[in-house]
């Protein structure tokens, strides 16, 4: 068998049509869940709110060839390098083949990074190095848009970017659909508001922080790109259209579903969003209710500790606004994912008649076992960081204080991507959330 025959045999084995001889109706969209965490929760909520059809898919299912059942793959934010590790070479190859054969790909932030030439290479696009980009920008920003159906219904093109990478295009066949313009007054660069940046002077602040901060450096840079990979469409966005509550983002998501799934009017989502009642359901066993309450209280206490040390406050219902040098994203992620689990377990719309209480009990015990030591050490770290910031400055990865460095390494690892005890904890939380949604 030659090389082409090998490829054909593999594609035939993956394609459900081979077993029945006819092409089944493709589902609208698969949302790749692995290594998404907070960004996956935000995307899940935003798609539910927009009434868009989608199903969650794990990397192992991608490796098994499940993508052929869908018209489109949506990859939300999260560390692109971690997503690639979760997929493995086989999973990355499945994604590329899916798009080459006519499937559509939508990547937002980290999901866009996964499609660059350094990763799955769906488009001839690369990420600029950290020394070349304004990596700490977050908040609203206006963009200029090219004529394209995804902007239908958007009058004032202001969207949200959350610490975006910056993309460099290496091929004229890749089209820029949106380019950055001016940041909005409520935006931040690192922990500096636009007002303070202007009053103190961005050049002086960049010298002090040792990174690029001025949002004007983003002006004219591509924010949304579109290109082709084989017969498939690829849209990459550094704008978070999936920020819950963003009306412009909701409109663009709906337009993207029409554009990328070739569906004139998307069907309703497969499942309703469970509505929280505020108290555990009475049919949950008392010990499960108690564990759930203990976990939620412990996480709330941890976030309150950071607030008491003046290290952060809440920016919106999903994200903290933290001081430079503190690992605020991890604490935001833990808080929101635990809150979402409680929402799922207290929602009046969920039937627990067939739910595996034994598995739920085991999952909560694992989370509690990992959470309590993490919280104790994290409180010590926050206390030390708060004291250190009274006289000095911190960077995310380095501090001269040996105790701070030791605690950071144990809790978060030595890189910006999730690691250490936090990664073990959030993986356990993630498994429970996914199991509740997919039950």
Tens digit of each residue's pLDDT (9 = 90 or more) over 306-364 = 999 999 999 999 999 999 999 999 999 999 999 999 999 886 545 444 568 899 999 99
* Contact status, residue 371 vs residue 330, Cβ threshold 8 Å: no
Taking the domains of the chain in order of start, what are their residue ranges? 12-261, 286-438
Percent above pLDDT 90 for the chain: 80
What are the pLDDT digits (tens) for 204-238?
A: 999 999 999 999 999 999 999 999 999 999 999 99
**Residue 403 reports pLDDT greater than 90:** yes
Burial label for 17, CB within 10 Å (0-12, 13-18, 19+), is exposed
Residue 225: predicted pLDDT: 98
Strand partners, 75: 107
Nearest-angstrom CA–CA distance, 42 and 46: 6
**Average pLDDT value over all residues in the chain:** 90
Nearest-angstrom CA–CA distance, 128 and 159: 22
Q: What is the mean pLDDT of residues 252-271?
A: 77
How would CATH label the architecture of 12-261? Answer: 3-Layer(aba) Sandwich (3.40)
Long-range contacts of 156-159 (CB under 8 A, 24+ apart): 156/248, 157/248, 158/184, 158/248, 159/223, 159/239, 159/240, 159/241, 159/243, 159/246, 159/248, 159/249, 159/252
What is the greatest pairwise CA distance in the chain?
71
**Residue 186 reports pLDDT greater than 60:** yes
**Alpha helices, H only, 128-279:** 194-200, 202-209, 247-261
Higher pLDDT, 407 or 6: 407
Nearest-angstrom CA–CA distance, 105 and 122: 9
Percent above pLDDT 70 for the chain: 88
75 SS3 class = strand
215 SS3 class = helix
**Residue 283 reports pLDDT greater than 90:** no
Q: What is the pLDDT confidence band of residue 438, given thresholds at 50, 70 and 90?
A: confident
Q: What is the mean pLDDT of residues 183-192?
A: 97
Residue closest to 103 by CA, chosen among 201, 9, 235: 235
Nearest-angstrom CA–CA distance, 215 and 197: 9
Q: What is the pLDDT confidence band of residue 136, given thresholds at 50, 70 and 90?
A: very high
């Amino acid at each position: 068998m030659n090389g082409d025959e090998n490829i054909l045999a593999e594609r035939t084995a993956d394609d459900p049509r081979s077993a029945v001889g006819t092409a089944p109706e493709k589902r609208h969209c698969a949302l790749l869940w692995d290594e998404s965490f907070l960004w996956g929760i935000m995307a899940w909520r935003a798609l539910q709110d927009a009434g868009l059809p989608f199903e969650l898919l794990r990397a192992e299912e991608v490796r098994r060839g499940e993508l052929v059942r869908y018209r489109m793959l949506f990859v939300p934010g999260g560390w692109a390098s971690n997503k690639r590790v979760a997929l493995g070479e086989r999973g990355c190859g499945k994604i590329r083949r899916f798009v080459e054969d006519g499937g559509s790909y939508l990547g937002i932030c980290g999901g866009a990074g996964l499609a660059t030439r350094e990763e799955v290479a769906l488009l001839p696009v690369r990420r600029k190095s950290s020394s070349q980009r304004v990596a700490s920008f977050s908040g609203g920003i206006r963009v200029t848009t090219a004529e394209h159906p995804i902007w239908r219904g958007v009058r004032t093109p202001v969207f949200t970017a959350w610490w975006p990478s910056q993309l460099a295009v290496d091929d004229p066949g890749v089209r820029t659909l949106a380019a950055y313009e001016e940041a909005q007054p409520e935006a931040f660069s690192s922990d500096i508001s636009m007002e303070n940046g202007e009053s103190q002077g961005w050049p002086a602040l960049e010298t002090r922080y040792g990174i690029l901060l001025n949002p004007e450096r983003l002006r004219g840079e591509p924010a949304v790109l579109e290109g082709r990979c084989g017969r498939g469409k690829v849209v990459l966005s550094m704008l978070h259209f999936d920020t819950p509550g963003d009306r412009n983002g909701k409109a663009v998501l709906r337009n993207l579903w029409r554009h990328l799934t070739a569906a004139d009017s998307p069907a309703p989502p497969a499942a309703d969003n469970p509505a929280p009642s505020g108290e555990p359901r009475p049919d949950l066993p008392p010990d499960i209710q108690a564990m759930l309450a203990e976990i939620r209280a412990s996480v709330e206490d941890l976030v309150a500790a950071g607030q008491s040390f003046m290290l952060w406050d809440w920016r919106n219902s999903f994200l903290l606004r933290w001081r430079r040098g503190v690992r605020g994203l991890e604490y935001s992620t833990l808080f929101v994912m635990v809150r979402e689990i409680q929402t799922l377990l207290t929602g009046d719309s969920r039937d627990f008649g067939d739910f595996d209480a034994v598995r739920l009990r085991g999952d909560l015990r694992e989370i509690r076992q990992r959470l309590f030591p993490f919280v104790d050490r994290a409180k010590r770290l926050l206390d030390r960081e708060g004291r250190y910031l009274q006289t000095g400055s911190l960077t995310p990865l380095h501090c001269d204080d040996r105790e701070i460095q030791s605690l950071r390494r144990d809790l978060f690892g030595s890189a910006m991507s999730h690691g250490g005890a936090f990664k073990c904890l959030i993986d356990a939380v993630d498994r429970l959330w996914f199991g509740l949604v997919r039950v």
